[in-house]
Amino acid sequence: MHVELTKQGDIALLTLNRPEALNALSFDILQQIGSAIDEVASYNDVRALIITGAGDKAFCAGADIKELRNRRLIDQKRGAELGQAMFAKLDRLPVASIALVNGYAFGGGAELAMACTFRLASSHAVFGLPEVKLGLIPGYGGTQRLPRLVGESRAMEIIMTGRNVKADEAERIGLVNRVVEGDLMEAGLEFAGKFTRYSLPVLEFARRAVQRAGDTSLQEGLQVEADLSTLAYRLNDAEEGMAAFEEKRRAEFKDG
């Protein structure tokens, strides 16, 4: 198995463990990623998911090019749909996900990172969607998620030139949340701790509302926000949170 799923406290850790191939994505590994995400969704004691790559050279160097040669068109389409479907599971995951990009994140690797809720990068991380250099375009969600993160003009330039984006630029344009100096896993766990102490259903409502902002009109998005805000208000956690504020104490949320 090239995908390892472990837990550290209330954080699930998904590691791409194929360092000899820079953690490249075969179709089998895509399936393994999807199965691992499904398993995380079934846990009732996990409050966030961290995804990283084994070794210090690469988060994930992208698709396994050998598998892409001499394929029927229908197989190529199904392959793209498989990658899209596996990464889309992160959108539906009840908890937020954090990509720890510890090196190269090219092609499908960059697309996996972009599918996560948050991205933290080491100072030597490098992102890229180099598919045009192969006579292809991104197929696992890159053309859709990159514009939502950095804007259409920047996304168009990055995709159409196939150029690399180093960590400092990635942070500046909003592709990553922050660049980390030092231990990336430690920083990822600390980052997760900034939100995992809050009510899980409320965090999920917040994610859903923000996600809708990118694919709906302002008026429709405001209605979604009003609906989800009302659902949050119905929770016991809302009463606890407001009571704790008035009593000047830390809220003890029960996720309900």
**Among the options 4, 67, 131, 186, which is catalytic?**
131
With 0-12 CB in 10 A as exposed, 13-18 as middle and 19+ as buried, what is 183? Answer: exposed
The reply to whether 220 belongs to the active site is no
Which one, of 134, 136, 124, lies nearest residue 166 by Cα?
Answer: 124
Q: Is residue 207 a contact partner of residue 117, using CB atoms and an 8 Å limit?
A: yes
CA pair distance 90, 87, nearest whole angstrom: 6
Radius of gyration of the chain (CA): 19
**Among the options 20, 67, 111, 225, which is catalytic?**
111
Amino acid at 83: G
Q: Is residue 256 a contact partner of residue 235, using CB atoms and an 8 Å limit?
A: yes
The reply to whether 111 belongs to the active site is yes
Half-sphere exposure of 183 (CA within 13 A, CB side): 5
Which residues make beta-bridge pairs with 247? none
Active site residues: 111, 131
